[in-house]
């Protein structure tokens, strides 16, 4: 498929979302005993007769895996991606302390959740993309940098900031200042630590105040990071057809960068 026809196809899919806004429910029942105790939402790729293009493990933001995330997951599933949405808030609440002990506890908890989600979706050997929005995007980048996960090909980061932490604070929910407490981390440093064979795609609204972070993030990623701007969008990226269009383009670039214009 040529570049123009591919982009037109992706745009058509994104426009179609406007008429399917309520068709966003998970399409696979969770059977794994561990996953049944976690807020994991599974979306099977539309054509079950062939493997998905990739598994996308998507961290929700500081208010959970909310409706716009579910709409995006359903859209990606219709274009042959398997998606596991994850409300990370309960996991972050039960982590101990701060610093190395918290980091280690997060790694020990999230690694089996991701691996078992892949298995539930029948996609143990397909490429893996770690994704998230806002705080979830920052956690996704940290996860790709520090959790040993086979098959990771990229990170899809929607609206990340410059600093973050493995917790949900009042300042996160209220869009307050970025964290600086012990145990917080530089997102640019985490990007620099992501394995060299993984790409990073940033999807960013042109009205997002956190766009000031992008210069440092792009510099940290070098030639394996790309930004996909969403015109007229703010930090939430909700309710805009172009947000879906650019997110699809970003995922295509993570898997097939030569076929997506920069």
Which of 88-108 are b and which e, b meaning 16 or more Cβ less than 10 Å from the residue's Cβ? Answer: bbebbeebeeeeeebbebbee
Neighbour count for residue 148 (Cβ, 10 Å): 8
Query: By the 8 A CB rule, do 85 and 125 touch?
Result: no
Residues of the chain with pLDDT under 50: 1-21, 261-262
* Helices 241-255/3-16 angle, 10° precision: 140
pLDDT of residue 256: 86
**Alpha-carbon torsion (229, 233, 237, 243), positive or negative:** negative
Question: For the chain, how long is the longest CA-to-CA vector?
Answer: 51
pLDDT of residue 258: 56
pLDDT of residue 237: 95
The domains of the chain, with CATH numbers, are: 3-259 (3.40.50.1820)
- Calculate the dihedral angle through the C-alpha atoms of 97, 103, 106, 110, rounding to the nearest 10 degrees: 180
pLDDT of residue 239: 74
């Amino acid at each position: 498929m040529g570049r123009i026809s591919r982009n037109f196809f992706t745009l058509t899919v994104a426009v179609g979302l406007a008429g399917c806004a309520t068709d966003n429910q998970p399409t696979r029942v969770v059977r794994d005993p561990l996953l049944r105790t976690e807020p994991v939402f599974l979306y099977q790729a539309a054509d079950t007769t062939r493997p998905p293009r990739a598994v996308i493990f998507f961290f929700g933001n500081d208010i959970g895996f909310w409706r716009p995330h579910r709409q995006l997951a359903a859209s990606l599933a219709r274009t042959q991606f398997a998606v596991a949405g994850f409300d990370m808030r309960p996991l972050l609440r039960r982590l101990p302390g701060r610093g190395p002990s918290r980091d280690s506890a997060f790694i020990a908890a999230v690694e089996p959740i991701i691996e078992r989600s892949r298995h539930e979706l029948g996609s143990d050997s397909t490429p893996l993309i770690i994704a998230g929005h806002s705080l979830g995007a920052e956690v996704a980048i940290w996860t790709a940098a520090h959790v040993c996960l086979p098959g990771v090909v990229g990170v899809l980061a929607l609206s990340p900031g410059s600093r973050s932490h493995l917790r949900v604070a009042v300042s996160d929910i209220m869009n307050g200042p970025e964290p600086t407490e012990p145990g917080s981390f530089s997102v640019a440093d985490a990007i620099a630590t992501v394995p060299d064979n993984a790409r990073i795609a940033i999807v960013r609204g042109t009205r997002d105040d956190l766009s000031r972070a992008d210069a440092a993030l792009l510099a940290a990623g070098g030639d394996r990071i790309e930004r996909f701007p969403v015109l007229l969008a703010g930090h939430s990226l909700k309710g805009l057809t172009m947000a879906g269009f650019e997110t699809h383009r970003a995922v295509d670039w993570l898997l097939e960068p030569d076929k997506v214009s920069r």
